[in-house]
Structure formats: structure tokens, C-alpha cells
Structure 1
Amino acid sequence: MRIGQDILAELQQRLDIEEVVGDYVSLKRKGRNLWACCPFHDEKSPSFSVAPDKGIYKCFGCGKAGDAINFVMEVESLSFMDAVKQLAQKYGLELPEEEADPQDLQEHQEKESLYIVLKFATEYFQDILKNHPEGKSIGYSYLRERGFSDAIIQKFELGYSTEAWDGLLKAATEKGYSIDLLEKAGLIILKEEKKYDRFRGRVIFPIHHPSGKPIAFGARMLGSDKKQPKYLNSPETPVYHKSNVLYGMHLAKRPIRQQDNCYLVEGYTDVISLHLCGIENVVASSGTSLTVEQIRLIGRYSKHITVLYDGDPAGLRASLRGIDLILEGGLQARVVVFPDGEDPDSYSRKLGATAFAAYLQQEATDFVVFKTQLLLKEAGKDPLRRTEVAREVVSSIALLQDPMAQAVYIKECSQLLNIDEPVLTAELQKVTRRKASQQQQQQQSFLPYPDAPPPDYYDAQPEPATAAKPQSVTTHFDSLALQELEGIRLLLRYGFKSLSENLLMQQYLLQEVADLEFKTPVYRQILELYRQQLEQGRILDEQFLLQQESAEIRQVVAELSMSRYELSAAWQERHHIYTTTEEDHLDKTALQYVLRHKFRFVRALIHENQQQLLHTSSEEGVTQILLVHQELKKAEMELAALLGNVIAG
């Protein structure tokens, strides 16, 4: 489906990128821009920046950039059309029906169909709970016995499935839903010639996307059949990936941001019980091991997690790895442990809302201290086991971001472990050095052109006279792509700025690169748009490009428009220290760009020519290629001389 330029422009005008991004991460203002830890990769200090005045974002760690539409596409894993529809609905813009691309339409329709049938199933299970004799006598009675009010049942959209093998199947097919769709949604099971409901004789807990759409179900058995699992969950589907989902997040995201803390529990009923106590900033991992994706999801709203555990020692020991993941994800973790035999659900009902809320506040223990005390209790007086405890504790301290916090924990754990601070500090430094070495090896994965040399490599590095290592194809063309990107940047930023002799930057650049074919499709497309707009007497600026349907174009614009560092406006006024900028030397900037671009372009042609030589066998063809090679090398030498480079003959 295509969106008209006028509609896209209208949507861009309505969008508030601060509000859009703020639904997923906690933004803090620094200077003109807003900053947060990136939602697309793990990091310990904020490198994700949003420019509200420009309507764009950029992460200076992983390189992700774009506008509000790009952001929703990335964070929700949506197509362009789905992201536009979601934002249009949010900002009250009606989209016209237009001809759709068949493949995009098929993917979109499948997901939309799944959402619709899952919504139908949710309403079906709710209706069974309220109106069916079995639902009222068994499911509703159970929920009321647990202390769940009608309001809370409605809030979480709880339901019930009857013992019938095909209750939902019949109801859904009568409404026109296909067997194939019901299976894809995880609602029925097809086995040989049989087809039947997945959930039977169970209380139903709908699992929601953070936006509020039902995407899956958890179901608790109420009978005594030991052959059946007590809890049964939906399988993975195109709209449900359990490692990315936290139960209750659709209700918790705003309270988490407001309280700047997220309570993390294990099960559905734990979440509901805390809501009954008036505590809404709570989510559940639904019985699965905590994942990096779930931690990242919480981190969008707060950097503080309080994990609630029952008193089972084996469960506590197994949970330590999950909390280490929390620290590694750059979040701060605290722990509340309940008395033996109690869990958040049972203990909240025993204490009552006010006393339970006070208990959570009073008993919250910092994770590092909690881990130290727990492991020491297990180790007893065994010196070897106490040594291992010390190493485990230091490994957790090394995950903390703040060096001052590390120093405080080292001091406190020194007293708990009865080990001198310098010994623990030395171990911490060892772990830190090992981590730094590992991170350094991984940094290349975040570079936009992993195989390319730095942008000024060919200008700053003289080539050795001896035979050098042959360069890969990607080196030549990635370096050329960088130069093409630089040309786009200069046109967008300074296109209508005057050079000497009343010549505009755009006139000079477009004339000089007229014979240089841009190899990178997205840069070639932007250059062509620039020329077209110029011919029509219009100015192509960032806003025009941000209204293009191409996500690649919008991402390029965002990358070029964002700077990690800002020079304070008060710097010159307060300190009378004046700093020259690129704009002060546009003539030199333009000339250097043209020479570098031509130099790289000629080098790419030389490489192409050499590749042709390898695949040419005729004498006439070889002669012609060698003549071209001589001309190209001559041009290369002339450009190198102008740039001050040394080129081996």
C-alpha cells in the first residue's frame, strides 16, 4: 500500500517524536536534545538522542537513526504501512484506501487477522466466564475465592474455557474464522484428522502486547488431572514471541515511568494481586527465565527493578543469573524475599494492601548485598567455597556502571566477606580488564562500514612503495559510499550558502559531481530528488526528505542531521572564546570534498578496470584496458598531488 505525499506530510506535522519515543524509553533533556539508553542495543550510558525540533532520533552507539515512523517500525518490528497506520490512529489522521503491494498486503492482513481472532477469543472466554453455567460455577467462583473483584477481572480481561473439546472452535468457525487462522493463532490443535481447542477446563489469562492488543493466552487448570500441566501457554506465533513479552506491561508502563521502578514477579496471579493492593508498576516473566529482551523492555520505562521472590532457597539460587542480566543491561536491581511458603499473591492477601506495600518498601535489599548474604549462608565456613563466593560477588559488582557505586559495594562486601578491600579491588580490576578486552573485540559490529578504513584514510596515509596487501572490493566502494554521503550532507546543510564569487554551494557541487555516478542507491536517489526539486524551483530540505516513504532516505537524513555534541550558546558570551566552524571555511570544505570524491571515484574505476583485465583473454581487449588504466592512474596521481597524498607508481 502506498501513502500519498500530502497524507504523509500531514502525519509528519502531527507527530510528536518526544511523545512517540517516550512511550518506549525514559527520555532526559540535555541541551536542546533528549537522551536515553538505546532501546535497540545494550549499553550502559545514554547514546540515543532525540531532536524534538527536527523530529528525528539517532543512536551514536549502534547507528540506528530516523524519524518517528522509523522508530515505530524498528521497536515494534512493523512494516512501513503498519507503522503509519498505528501512528495515524494515535494522532487521529484518517488514511485513504489505496492500492496495496501484494506482499505487504498479505503480511499485514495475516497479522491483522491474528489480532482480530485473538480479540474474538478473549471476548469469547470472558463471555463464558460471566454467562456460561460451567464458567460461572467453576471459573468465576475460583477467581472470587482468590479475592479477585469484578473490576479486576474486567481490567485483566480474565476468562474461562469449558471442558468441551471444540467450544471455541465451533464459536469461531460460526463467525467465519478459518481453521488455518485459528491454528496460526495457537487457539486450536490439528492432529491427524482431529482438531480441538488448545485450552479446555481452564481459567484464561490473556497476554497483551504493550500497546494493549491480546496476543496470546496463559491458562490455569482447575481440575485434578495429574496428566495435564497446571499451566498451559500459547505457542509462538507471528504476533507472539514469549521471550519479548512481559505479562501486565500494557497496564504497567505508565506507572513504571511515574514510580521510576518496576516490580518483577513470576506469575499472572502475582501481578493481579499487586494491582488489588494498588500497586500497578508490576509485570511478570510468566514462569520463564528472564531474557535480555524482557530486561530491555523494562529499561524503556525505568532503570530500577525490584524482584519479588518467595522464600524457596533453590529458586533464589537459580534466580541469580537473571539478576546479573539486569545489572549487565544497565539497570539497578533490588530484591524482596517473602517468608518460607509465601509468594507475592499469598502474602499480599495475608497482610492486606497497606501492610503489604509497606513490607515491599522496608524489605527491599540491594541485589549485591542480597547475593553476598545468600551465597555466604550456603558456603558456611568452607574457605574454598567462600573464595568462590567472593569471585561471584565481584563479578556482579563489575556489571555496575558507576565506579563510585562499585567502590561502595567493594567496601560493604569486604566487611560481609571478611576480605581486605585491596584484594577485592584487584579482582574487580581483573574482571573489568577482561570485559573491556571483550567489548573492544565486539565494537566493530557497530560500525556502519565494518570493512572500510576511516573517512580520511586515503588523504592522511601515504601508500608504501612496496607491494601492499590487496584491498577488498568492499574497501574501495565503502570508502566511495562515505564520500557520496558527505556530498549529500553538504548539499542539505549548505546548498544555498554562497561561496566566493557569488556561487552557491549547490551550483558548485552539482556541476563538479555531474559526471560521477553515485554507486550507493539511496544516495543516488536523494541526489536525483535534489536535482528534480531544484529544476522545479523548490528547495529540498530535511523536512521534504523526512516525508518520503523510503525508510532508508529518512534514516540517512536523521544520521546527517544529528550531532552528538553541542557547543553551548553561552560559551562564547561567557568566556569570550570563539571557535571556528565548518561554515567559516565553506570554500575549502567544498574543494576538499570534490577532490576527495573524485579521488575515490577514480580508485573505484581502477579497481573495476583491474577486475575486467582478469576476465579478458583477447589481446585487443587487454590493450584497451591497459590504455584506460594508464589514463586512470594519471588522473589518480594528479588528484593525489592536489590532496597532498603520496601514491606509489
Structure 2
Amino acid sequence: MISKSTIDQVYETARLEEVIGDFVQLKKAGSNFKGLSPFSDERSPSFMVSPVKQIWKDFSSGKGGNVVAFLMEHEHFTYPEAIKYLAKKYNIEIEETEQSNEQKEQQNKRESLYLVSEFASKYFQETLHNTDPGKAIGLSYFKERGFTTETIKKFSLGYSLDQWSAFTDHALKKGYNLEFLEETGLTIVKENKQFDRFKGRVMFPIQSMSGRVLGFGGRILTNDKKAAKYLNSPESDIYHKSKVLYGIFHAKQSIAKEDNCYLVEGYTDVIQFYQTGIKNVVSSSGTALTSDQIRLINRLTKNITVLFDGDAAGMRASLRGIDLILEQGMNVKVCTFPEGEDPDSFAKSNTLEELSLYLEQNAKDFIQFKASVLYESAKNDPIKKAETIRDIVNSIAKIPDRIKTEIYIQECARIMDISEEVLFSTLAQLTKKEQVEASKQTQTSQKAFDVIKHQQPVKKVDVQYELERKIIEILLLYGNRTEDFEDLVLKENDKGQLELEPVIQQAKVFEKIFLDLQEDEMEFLNPQFKAIYYSIIDALNQNPDFKIESLINTIDPILASEITSILMEDERYALADWERNNIFPKSKIDTVAQLVSETILTLRCFLIDQKVTQFQQNTLQNKTEVNKDILEEVKDYSGLKMLLSRKLNRAL
């Protein structure tokens, strides 16, 4: 168990915007930050971070919470893991008690896989640096590749002994479960025998964006033609190769800072670039580029520069990846290296200045690159040239931005020496074909939707729920503010009629709401709102300097999530950036007293309606004559509602 003092120190020290900034590219939006949702595929920002309140809200998925909640959602950390991650980030010493055997057994399967992978990574590093075969074979290989000791340690590179079960035997001896060794793919089990998957290979740990070890890549060092040169961990609960980029953990901050990501093919390409000084580089680890991998980069930058070696066949195969990047609305450049060179060898033989200058001068826009690659094989064949042009237009059609589309069409017309009209006509045909296909799918979906639509009645607005939620919102945002409230006191005039007479009095917002609800004996029906209400009232009564973020950090996670949703509801309108369009909405803070009064009065009117409806139902159920006393009560309630409605300036 982590001590309470450590947890309190973590919450006090951690800055939400800094932590989330390691995973999502954030941009200033007034007093807040906004960015693309890390939980869904989107092109317009709906992710909001409030440094003042130290909470975040993702309006596309509905998720939200504090800094720990983000790490638990995004990185699938347990609560203790999230605290430990933050403690490590901010150099906070962790005080904790030793876990019992029972607690260890309760660790879920996913956590066990992480623990096994982390253990394996440390074992392979130890083997590389502290054993004779590791130093003679593995370390020598890395040194030959030009990697420094600092770089080798930075990327946690290792070595697996050329023995059938050296790692497996050691792991079992240390108490790790064979089931999880097999699940991670580190151990292969066959007919009561087990042996190491990565026997005799140098090891490249594959890390998540937060630095957790997900799997491994292993390179064989012998000339065994039957064995694969590179071998990756199989798919598991924690490792999905189509959703992982090698080097993303070390590159994420540089990618966001430089607003560009270099995409290469291999592990050593990433490491050599990083060592040379270009740190915003990742690799798809030898697999074909996927949409999930592109979305991972899209969270950090809109710009990708794809780096290819001089192999023409490989370049043509990689053109499909460029189309995927364009579909995500990202900007793509392509850079190729001289024949016989790849990113690894070129970075190794050049200084940082030379490498940076080469990339700057040779990075072409995707259309120029695609045209040059395809045109070379088609320039003397009119039919192939036509196919090449259609291929390029097909790529342009995938770009969601219409302005970019038009500019690229003009560029294609210039490079391929063809009229813009023909290209726009071809583009229109392709777009129309896609629209027809999409329309067919929509019609099919619409038929299914129509069936559901007729089956489901329209859901009515729950007025009391909305009013209770509004009261919680006011308490969270303005509970500790002092305001001048105009109270309404019922008085009898000269004609014996009741009138509401205004009286001004100063009070704290939370005191005003509490007293008004007490006076009318109004109770919250929603159990979550009721729990939050009394938590806030108690906290404000006990501590005048109470801060909402401290409540979020200590309250039940379900209630904390509800509080976050309420607090960030107003912030979503900041995503629209109204001021940019010269629209300046009035701040709620200028009308807090009015907001409180109107909400309480509206709730009173609603409860009066409920009371009158209850009288009506009771009378109908009893099938008796209408009691004179009931009529008098209904009349009094109706009169009171009329007075409240006048105050609210509402017609009845």
C-alpha cells in the first residue's frame, strides 16, 4: 500500500497539463488547453484540460477526471501504478508497505503480463552488460552498429543467451508463472517442454507511450537461413503490433515540440537517428503502417515525414501507407536516401547538421514524390502514364480538406503536364463513386434505424434531474463566492392579497442554496447528486479555503467522474473559440446571484406542479367528491406559482 502522505504529495505536485502534454498535443484555449481526443478518432478538438481546476474532459467519449483518472484510462494503469508513474515523473520518494502474498495473487492477468515483460527487459539488459557471452556477442554487435553505451542503456537494449531455456529457467526460479511467460510469447511451451522464443538474439524492448514494456523485437546474429532475421513478440493482451510504434516513448515530447514526426522502418533506424540528435522519430517495426499507428502520431502532430531507403520496390509498396496518412487529414512529406543508404547508415556517417540539412532539402511533398516514383516507370508508355495520373488523383481524393485538394490538383497538373479541368473531372468521378457507395450503406443503416426508431418512444426531459444537476454545478463553480441575493418575502397587501416583496441580503452561495432547500424541505431524488451535494456542503462548512480539486481526489471515483462532467460542461463551448469570430458571450460569473435565484425558483415551481398533480391523482383514484380543503390548497399553490412565475418573468 502506498502511504497517504505520498499520495497527497503526488496530487499537490503533479500538473495535469504537463502530464497529459506527454501524450496529447495541447494548444492554449483561453485559460484552458484543448487537443484531439486520445480515446477516439476525430479531426476537430473535443478534449479539454483545465489547469485551474486540475481536471480534464473528453467530450467525444464522455470520459473525464483528474490526473490519475487520465493515466488509468489512457495507459490502463491501476491506481497504485498511476501514483507511482507520477511519483517517478516528479522525483517523489514513495513510502509503501510490503505487499502480502494474497495481494500479489490478486494482481490481474494484464498486470501480470506487464510485470513479466518488465522483468524480461531487465534480465536481457543484465545479460548484455554483465555476462561474458552478452558482452562478447550482444554488446559487440551494438558497438559495431555505432551505438554508444549511453544510447544502449537509453533504449534498454539487451541480449538473450544462445541457450534453449536460460531465460525461462531463471524466470521460473524467480517465481514467475509459466502461463504468463507463454502468454507474453517469451516462452514457447510444447509437450511439457518449454524453451526461449528469443534464444541467441539481441533484444529491442517495445514500449508504450508511457514507457511500459509491451513486447520485444529480437535480431538473430548467426547466418541460420532457416531462422527469421527479426522476430517479434506475438499478439497478447498488452501487445498489439498494429497499435504500437517503436520509439514513441522517447520521441513523444520532441514530436510535439518540433511539430513533425519522422517515420522509418526499423529499430536501428530509430536508435541511430536519436543518437545523432534527431529525436522525433518512430518506426512501424517492419509491419505495414496502420490507421491506429497514424492516429498515435496524430495526437502529437499533424505532420509526418516518411523516410525511405533507395530501394524502388520497397518505396512503391510503402505508397499505400501514404494514402492512409492522407485519409487522417495529415500533412505528408517523403524523403529518400541515396542508393545503397538507409536512415541508419546515413545518420551514422553524417553529423547532426549534415543530416538535418539533407532532410530539409530533400523532403518532398507526397505528390512530387509519388509522381517521380511512378512517372519513371511510365514516361514512355501513354497508358501507364494515364494510370499513374489516376493513381495520384485517387490519393488526392482521400484528403478531407477541400482547399488542400484543389492545391494538390494544380500541383499534379503542373508536374504531369495535364489540364486541371481533366483532373478535376476525374476527381469528381471518384468522389461521386464514393458518395454512391456511402449512400448505399447509409440507406441500409437507415432502414435498420427506422425499425428501431418506431420501436423506441421519445425520451422525456427529466426536469428535476436537470435542476438538481444545475444546483450541483453552481455549488462546484461558485459555492464559496459571496453574493448579494434578492430574497422574496411573502407579505399581505392592503387588500389582503399575498405579494412577494424583495429583500437584499449578502450570503455565501452554498449557504444560500442550503438554507433555501432546507426551508422548503426539498430533497435530491438522484442519489449521486445527493451524495455530491452533502459532500460539498460539509467540505465548505469545515474549510473556507476548500478547493474542488481536493474533493475530486478523495471522493468515490464514480462521483468524481460526475463532478468532472458537470465542471467541464461549460468549458466545451470554449472549443468553438467564439472570440475569434468577434462573439463575446457574457460570463456566468457576472450573474451568479441571478442564476442561483432562478434555479431555486424554477425548482419550486416544478415541485408545486408535482404537488397539484398529486392532488388530482389522489382525487381520481379515490373517486370521491372533491374536498373543499384540497381545493383551497390547490388554489394557494397555484397562486404561489403565479407569484414565482412573475419573478421569473415567465408567462403561464
Q: TM-score, normalised by structure 2?
A: 0.75
Residue pair 1:8, 1:547 contacting (<8 A) in 2 also: no
Q: Please, which of 559, 562, 570 is the counterpart of residue 565 of structure 2?
A: 559
Superposed, which structure 2 residues align to 1:604-619 within 5 Å? none
CA distance in 2, matches of 1:507, 1:356: 67
Structure 2 gaps of 5+ residues are 443-448, 488-504, 626-630
Q: Please, which of 465, 477, 480 is the counterpart of residue 493 of structure 1?
A: 477
CA-CA distance at 1:405 after TM superposition: 3.9
SS state at 2:235 partner: coil
Paired residue for 1:125?
Answer: 124
Deviations 1:508-551 (A, max 9, x none): 663488555433x5333312323444676868752343222433
AA of the residue aligned to 1:551: P
CA distance in 1, matches of 2:131, 2:92: 40
CA-CA distance at 1:335 after TM superposition: 0.8
AA of the residue aligned to 2:517: L
CA-CA distance at 1:200 after TM superposition: 1.0
CA distance in 2, matches of 1:346, 1:99: 48
Q: Please, which of 548, 553, 561 is the counterpart of residue 547 of structure 1?
A: 553
Superposed, which structure 2 residues align to 1:136-535 within 5 Å? 136-349=135-348, 355-377=354-376, 380-382=381-383, 385-386=387-388, 388-396=390-398, 398-400=399-401, 404-421=403-420, 424=423, 472=457, 475-476=459-460, 481-495=465-479, 497-501=483-487, 502=505, 505-507=512-514, 510-511=517-518, 515=522, 517-519=524-526, 521-533=527-539
CA-CA distance at 1:166 after TM superposition: 0.9
Structure 1 gaps of 5+ residues are 443-449, 451-467, 611-619
Paired residue for 2:18?
Answer: 19
Deviations 1:162-191 (A, max 9, x none): 331111122223333333343344321222
Residue pair 2:273, 2:347 contacting (<8 A) in 1 also: yes
AA of the residue aligned to 1:128: T
Residue pair 1:311, 1:341 contacting (<8 A) in 2 also: yes
Larger-Rg structure: 2
Residue pair 1:220, 1:231 contacting (<8 A) in 2 also: yes
AA of the residue aligned to 1:147: G
Paired residue for 2:602?
Answer: 595
232-241 or 362-371: which moved more? 232-241
CA distance in 1, matches of 2:424, 2:108: 57
AA of the residue aligned to 2:476: L
Deviations 1:228-249 (A, max 9, x none): 2221111234443323322122
CA distance in 2, matches of 1:596, 1:422: 63
CA-CA distance at 1:72 after TM superposition: 1.8
314-323 or 195-204: which moved more? 314-323
AA of the residue aligned to 1:525: A
CA-CA distance at 1:600 after TM superposition: 10
Structure with the greater relative contact order (CA < 8 A, sep ≥ 6): 1 or 2? Answer: 1
Residue pair 1:512, 1:594 contacting (<8 A) in 2 also: no
CA distance in 1, matches of 2:97, 2:154: 37
SS state at 2:85 partner: helix
- Residues 522 and 429 of structure 1, relative CA distance in 2, 3 Å threshold: farther
Superposed, which structure 2 residues align to 1:59-74 within 5 Å? 59-74=58-73
CA distance in 1, matches of 2:343, 2:216: 21
CA distance in 2, matches of 1:424, 1:596: 62
- Residues 405 and 107 of structure 1, relative CA distance in 2, 3 Å threshold: farther
CA-CA distance at 1:367 after TM superposition: 1.8
CA distance in 1, matches of 2:38, 2:94: 29
CA distance in 2, matches of 1:372, 1:493: 57
CA distance in 1, matches of 2:186, 2:21: 34
- Residues 593 and 236 of structure 1, relative CA distance in 2, 3 Å threshold: farther
SS state at 2:333 partner: strand
SS state at 1:12 partner: helix
CA distance in 2, matches of 1:3, 1:326: 46
CA distance in 1, matches of 2:604, 2:370: 58
- Residues 430 and 250 of structure 1, relative CA distance in 2, 3 Å threshold: same
AA of the residue aligned to 2:395: V
Q: How much is the aligned-residue C-alpha RMSD, in angstroms?
A: 4.8
Superposed, which structure 2 residues align to 1:618-629 within 5 Å? none
CA-CA distance at 1:19 after TM superposition: 1.4
SS state at 1:46 partner: coil
CA distance in 2, matches of 1:100, 1:601: 57
CA distance in 2, matches of 1:195, 1:470: 57
Residue pair 1:310, 1:343 contacting (<8 A) in 2 also: yes
CA-CA distance at 1:426 after TM superposition: 6.7
CA distance in 2, matches of 1:373, 1:482: 61
